[in-house]
Amino acid sequence: MVRIKDIAERAGVSATTVSNVIHHKAGKVSPELVEKIERIIREMNYVPSLSARMLANESSGILGVAVGYPERSLHLPLEDPFVASLIGHLEHAIRELGYYMMLLTKRSMEEILQESRAWNFDGLIAFGFSQEEFEALREAFDKPIVTIDSYFDRRYPRVCNVGTDDFDGGYQIGRFLLNRGHRDILFVADNDLGVDHLRWEGFRKAMAEAGLEHLDDMRLMVPWDYEPRLRRYDELLGLLRRQTALFFCSDYNAVEAMNHLRRRGVDIPGELSVAGFDDIVYARTCWPPLTTVHQPVDKKAALAVEMLGRMLRGERVDGPEPKVSVHVVERQSVCAR
Amino acid sequence: MVRIKDIAERAGVSATTVSNVIHHKAGKVSPELVEKIERIIREMNYVPSLSARMLANESSGILGVAVGYPERSLHLPLEDPFVASLIGHLEHAIRELGYYMMLLTKRSMEEILQESRAWNFDGLIAFGFSQEEFEALREAFDKPIVTIDSYFDRRYPRVCNVGTDDFDGGYQIGRFLLNRGHRDILFVADNDLGVDHLRWEGFRKAMAEAGLEHLDDMRLMVPWDYEPRLRRYDELLGLLRRQTALFFCSDYNAVEAMNHLRRRGVDIPGELSVAGFDDIVYARTCWPPLTTVHQPVDKKAALAVEMLGRMLRGERVDGPEPKVSVHVVERQSVCAR
DNA sequence: GTGAAAGCGCTAACAA
DNA sequence: TTGTTAGCGCTTTCAC
């Protein structure tokens, strides 16, 4: 291993001087020396030791990315295509910002806190946690935190949530279905929290504007767990067939339901149109390709990292919650009435 | 921050003693002291600084996971469900082994080498690299390396490849299709390297055993890139329809082709059966659900980490290349003839 | 413009 | 059984 000392010796200078050229401390080193030392650094293929740097600095240069419960009951969070994609983009954006990413999945909040301290993370990006877990995190971790899709009551200093314009997404897809002539539409979700609640509100608004009535009857809540959910679809088959369109609050549920309903003899989109939300990869690989609300995962990751970057620079980030906007992508699962 | 020194002071002992109880150095500390110090450690909520530890030890406790080109032309490697799942399981297994994982995606070999040195990785898991890249890695990184699905010519000390029984998988699905009465089968792949070559060899063997002839005519090579590939399917539509079954070398291609052929009016599996390989999540979300060769990603990740663990412990790992075995999972895309 | 020295928190060889 | 000490590689203050 090549150390600063080795460079220094070879150049006949002190370690301090080498350190100064590494950090481009302008005016502290004479131009000739800078050039010479830089050459030697290259020649000797010097790579700084990050552990030594971390120890000497107060900052570690590492951002933690903590992922809570898997979206669905999949075994690991990364099996969820949305989570996987998000993490891929986060890694990219974090590196662009000049930091390293340390990924923590499937860990208890206690472990996350412990590792954050052990590594001395400069900041944390977290998603998929309950409000209590989040509170515990906030309490114990005093560096900047960015959450994603976590709509909690209060806001704190050094904490920021990045979201999606879920309300608008619900509204847009509502409008879209209305424009295609649908009136008998069911909004299907497996919970009424955060994101899904906003999607419903947006959807509801579109329906209200169109003068539809009994809006609350347009919402169908189905079980969170797989088996009961499919059973529910069977029980409600009559109701479902009486609709002309179904809007599922997530692509995941939409694709699953399409396949299930087709197994029960329902022709999609001939008899029944289906729309989703998220535009995960399944939306393209399923049949028929799903008309859905696209949310830009790449932008979301970039936004999260940008907010964290600002906080790291000491900027304040109050003001409205940053959100990425969405749009409907039309494929073939919705047809006109 | 609580340091060892703080614990030592509070306990009225030296830092060494505290360090010794932290590392459970048996017999070096009296039981009473052990208990007292452990209590204080808990009370003060002490968390060791990893950077300090890394610096003091020769080992970093970090394993690098480097991912090369995305399997398909997706933007980021993590968009590939196979890669995402693999990484999820790797993270899990690496943690179980008591190490930390540092993920490096979409980076040049030069960057990978640099970061490996900067972090002083104890070992590396790499996949998705070309032979040249791999050679460069091997040359410059002298710690244990495990590759996944990289079938290169020679073997080296401190290097190990973990694979799948691709030959057997090809053979099994070949047998399966034959058993279902298919004789006019096409093996479709977009390359003839490593994994895909072995799958073909296995498939070929099954066909040969069944007494089929003109085996090389049973293989269809299609372009690697998306647009040209679909065009090719159109050009060959006649040929494809004359078959009773298509076996695609990857689920990815199988799902894509199913959707494309259906768009061209082909009834699957009525007219034409389709099988894949890998059992990625798409195989369950597509329509019809895909009959495919399941490869256990979790076991593969566990095996890779296990091999790395052995090398880290100084064990030799020559002998036959470790492989996970596969099996056909029957869903609905293949029907009997 | 340059260098000596101290210190980041932890570990391990050696002394007591 | 316990403590003293040096050192891991880098940064930074301060003196020259």
A51 touches B: beta carbon within 8 Å: yes
List Cα–Cα distances, B112 to A123, B66, B140, B141, B169, in angstroms.
24, 7, 10, 10, 33
Asked if B287's CB is within 8 angstroms of A118's CB, the reply is no
How far is the C-alpha of A92 from the C-alpha of B79, rounded, in Å? 13
Q: Does the CB of A332 fall within 7 Å of any strand D atom? A: no
Q: What is the pLDDT of residue A92?
A: 97
How far is the C-alpha of B168 from the C-alpha of B173, rounded, in Å? 9
Which chain A residues have a beta carbon less than 8 Å from that of B1? 117
Asked if B119's CB is within 8 angstroms of A50's CB, the reply is yes
Q: What is the pLDDT of residue B138?
A: 93
Of residues A217, A333, A330, A221, the one with CA closest to residue A266: A333
**Separation in Å: C2 C1' and A5 CA:** 15
Asked if A282's CB is within 8 angstroms of B282's CB, the reply is yes
Q: Does the CB of A157 fall within 7 Å of any strand D atom? A: no
Q: Which residue of B has its CA nearest to A297?
A: B79
Q: Does the CB of A60 fall within 7 Å of any strand C atom? A: no
Which chain B residues have a beta carbon less than 8 Å from that of A117? 1, 47
Which H/E stretch holds residue A260? helix A251-263
Place of tokens 């790992």: B317
Q: What is the pLDDT of residue B72?
A: 55
B331: how many CB neighbours lie within 10 A of its CB? 18
Per-residue pLDDT in tens (0 to 9) along chain B, 337 residues: 999 999 999 999 999 999 999 999 878 899 999 999 999 999 999 999 999 999 999 999 999 999 997 555 568 999 999 999 999 999 999 999 999 999 999 999 999 999 999 999 999 999 999 999 999 999 999 999 999 999 887 778 889 999 999 999 999 999 999 999 999 999 999 999 889 999 999 999 999 999 999 999 999 999 999 999 999 999 999 999 999 999 999 999 999 999 999 999 999 999 999 999 999 999 999 999 999 999 999 999 999 999 999 999 999 888 889 999 999 999 999 999 8
B28 touches A: beta carbon within 8 Å: no
Q: What is the pLDDT of residue A152?
A: 80
Q: Does the CB of B28 fall within 7 Å of any strand D atom? A: yes
pTM value is 0.95
Q: Does the CB of A124 fall within 7 Å of any strand C atom? A: no
pLDDT beneath 70, residues of chain A: 70-74
Which chain A residues have a beta carbon less than 8 Å from that of B75? 298
Contacts from A256-260 at CB under 8 Å and sequence distance 24+?
A: A256/A229, A256/A230, A256/B285, A257/A188, A257/A233, A258/A286, A258/A287, A258/A288, A258/A290, A258/A333, A258/B287, A259/A286, A259/B285, A259/B287, A259/B289, A260/A230, A260/A233
Tell which A residues from 127 to 166 touch B, by Cβ distance under 8 Å. none
Tell which B residues from 169 to 228 touch A, by Cβ distance under 8 Å. none
Q: Does the CB of B161 fall within 7 Å of any strand D atom? A: no
Chain Cα centroid distance, residue A147: 9
Which chain A residues have a beta carbon less than 8 Å from that of B105? 88, 91-92
Q: What is the pLDDT of residue B320?
A: 87
**Separation in Å: D3 C1' and B17 CA:** 8
Name A residues 43-62 whose Cβ lies under 7 Å from strand D.
Answer: 46, 48-49, 52-53, 55-57
Taking the C1' atom of every nucleotide in all shown strands and the CA of A26, the nearest one is C1
Which H/E stretch holds residue A41? helix A31-43
Asked if A84's CB is within 8 angstroms of B79's CB, the reply is yes
Which chain A residues have a beta carbon less than 8 Å from that of B55? 49, 51-52, 55
A259 touches B: beta carbon within 8 Å: yes
**Separation in Å: D1 C1' and A309 CA:** 50
How far is the C-alpha of A36 from the C-alpha of A51, rounded, in Å? 26
Asked if B49's CB is within 8 angstroms of A51's CB, the reply is no
Q: Which residue of A has its CA nearest to B255?
A: A285
How far is the C-alpha of A225 from the C-alpha of A236, rounded, in Å? 16
Q: Does the CB of A253 fall within 7 Å of any strand C atom? A: no
How far is the C-alpha of B298 from the C-alpha of B90, rounded, in Å? 8
How many beta-carbon pairs below 8 A join chains A and B?
124
